[in-house]
Structure 1
């Protein structure tokens, strides 16, 4: 029998109409959106289903939106494929998706998870507003080449490698001047560069004001040991102690996302089949670059 792991997407997967089909066909999914509206104090369901995109794309809204939609997709999977979720042996999520993975693994409730994600999104949006900054994917270059670009561009201001996604796909994050310099250098090296539609330089010290606010939001949350390993973005390891999990989540805001290492950690543990659960299919694309022969099934909100 295949050994299964679930993966959950991060920010950037949002789009107008997300979750609408699933909510219409799966009562348990529809209930999540209603519960979310009550917790958040605004109509997240309407923003997901109808937009406007300017509001949905804001970090403060997109993070709760992706979190809730991903869990709605999970409810759809449970209804369509009974028993599959119980067979899942490991889980991970990209940045924001780590919270979805922890809720799936029973480490925190939907309500606590959503409240923390709401606070995280607001804190990261405020940190981004305070320092004009951004992120860009650099494709088709080696790690060594991107490190050289990072070192040179950082002379103009803060710049870090924020996401180690897969071979040939690294994301740099920093102040606007350094991002512009990095783009010029990468293009001169024949790389393909994709500026990301995010509010600021996530997973760098530019987010430093947000980590303490996240710590405060996590303090009252009731965490328990996950029933299955959840692989952390920060160190590609699973953690069982609730207080340790909180500390790792705080560190995640200002630390690089080591997604390739997370996937390799699950593969090394014997996982043979992955499911990407949530809007979009970014993680499936990354999987093809990390382990092309490993099957990855998408369970998203367009089905």
Structure 2
């Protein structure tokens, strides 16, 4: 059955974790998780941005086909080609943030799919290898979910009252319904994996609590039941690649620990299959390291807006929607 505990809360009313006395403030870069991503929203950036064009040229050479053309034709939100272009757009945004806006991060983080970009940015994987790995993992997951857990989806809900929401999950468990918490974004904001046949009832129950539904992911992600997928990905894909220790600290999205070795990086990349993401734990870890400024590089409609993000960091977003605008990116100062 599902886990319902919410660890590592960074409550909107709790004091932020400050940097050590006398320490210099630090900067972090976050590569966000993948939401809905299509050619209509990102195509102009991918075509016109010189950093994206350079990344695409390398990816095309590595894979032997035009990633942009296949992305344009694919249509599906989480297709292999959408994943590849999301990766490329995220790293291109970081290139622009460095070259144009002077970003020099001390800490690196990748949430969910953003781990792949983080691994490349931190030097644990060459860009050509992370491109190949992303394509191979997409095919690996597609093959796995064609026969296993084909009736499971991951659904995101927000603004749910916590006590009532956990009571709802307890009731689902008592009725023998399978579910798993796949993500804790902040108080009242969760990703839940469950059987698609129960999705409409779940959405209706969340609405009755006063909560809201965001979107549904197919295939599902980050559930403890997907241990076999983790083992398949490790044996068929991850094992082929030489993963190095990162050049700067990387924050694990599973529990906020600092990844500073090759083995820890390999474990983090595998944890994404069967461990929930916990953004409040990542925030706590970064503030504990003295991070005060956070660049969010890549398409993101969520992480840079969360209460626990804007309360703890000065947030600068560089993404396909704003990267081509003249002038520096807009700073979102920490909430009082």
TM bucket normalised to smaller:
0.7 to 0.9
- Does the 8 Å CA contact 1:59/1:125 hold for their aligned counterparts? no
Q: Select 2:107's aligned residue among 61, 67, 90.
A: 90
30 and 193 in structure 1: CA distance in 2 versus 1, 3 angstrom threshold: same
- Does the 8 Å CA contact 2:33/2:300 hold for their aligned counterparts? no
274 and 77 in structure 1: CA distance in 2 versus 1, 3 angstrom threshold: same
Match of 2:301 in 1: 281
User: TM-score w.r.t. structure 2 length?
Assistant: 0.80
1: distance between equivalents of 2:113 and 2:73?
Answer: 20
41 and 132 in structure 1: CA distance in 2 versus 1, 3 angstrom threshold: farther
Match of 1:147 in 2: 166
Does residue 100 of structure 1 match 2:140?
no
201 and 158 in structure 1: CA distance in 2 versus 1, 3 angstrom threshold: farther
User: TM-score w.r.t. structure 1 length?
Assistant: 0.88
1: distance between equivalents of 2:233 and 2:29?
Answer: 25
Q: Secondary structure at the match of 2:295?
A: strand
Match of 2:311 in 1: 292
Q: Secondary structure at the match of 1:253?
A: helix
- Does the 8 Å CA contact 1:6/1:88 hold for their aligned counterparts? yes
- Does the 8 Å CA contact 1:60/1:118 hold for their aligned counterparts? yes
- Does the 8 Å CA contact 2:257/2:285 hold for their aligned counterparts? yes
Match of 1:200 in 2: 219
Report deviation, 1:145: 3.3
Report deviation, 1:89: 0.8
Q: Where is the helix percentage greater, Structure 1 or Structure 2?
A: 1
2: distance between equivalents of 1:253 and 1:118?
Answer: 16
Unmatched 5+ residue regions in structure 2?
1-23, 324-336
2: distance between equivalents of 1:172 and 1:211?
Answer: 19
- Does the 8 Å CA contact 2:181/2:193 hold for their aligned counterparts? yes
Report deviation, 1:185: 2.2
- Does the 8 Å CA contact 1:73/1:278 hold for their aligned counterparts? yes
- Does the 8 Å CA contact 2:119/2:265 hold for their aligned counterparts? no
Report deviation, 1:296: 0.7
1: distance between equivalents of 2:108 and 2:88?
Answer: 17
Residues 187-241 of structure 1 deviation map (CA, whole Å, 9 limit, x = unaligned): 2212112232x21321114534421232121112111111111111122111222
Q: Secondary structure at the match of 2:156?
A: strand
Does residue 79 of structure 1 match 2:99?
yes
Q: How does 1:107-122 map to 2 (within 5 A)?
A: 107-122=124-139
Q: Secondary structure at the match of 1:200?
A: coil
Indicate the RMSD between aligned Cα atoms, in angstroms. Answer: 2.2
Alignment length (residue pairs): 294
2: distance between equivalents of 1:207 and 1:68?
Answer: 27
Q: Select 2:44's aligned residue among 17, 20, 39.
A: 20
- Does the 8 Å CA contact 2:182/2:192 hold for their aligned counterparts? yes
Q: Select 1:6's aligned residue among 29, 37, 41.
A: 29
- Does the 8 Å CA contact 1:173/1:179 hold for their aligned counterparts? no
2: distance between equivalents of 1:2 and 1:61?
Answer: 38
Does residue 265 of structure 1 match 2:285?
yes
Q: Secondary structure at the match of 1:251?
A: helix
Q: Select 1:236's aligned residue among 239, 253, 256.
A: 256
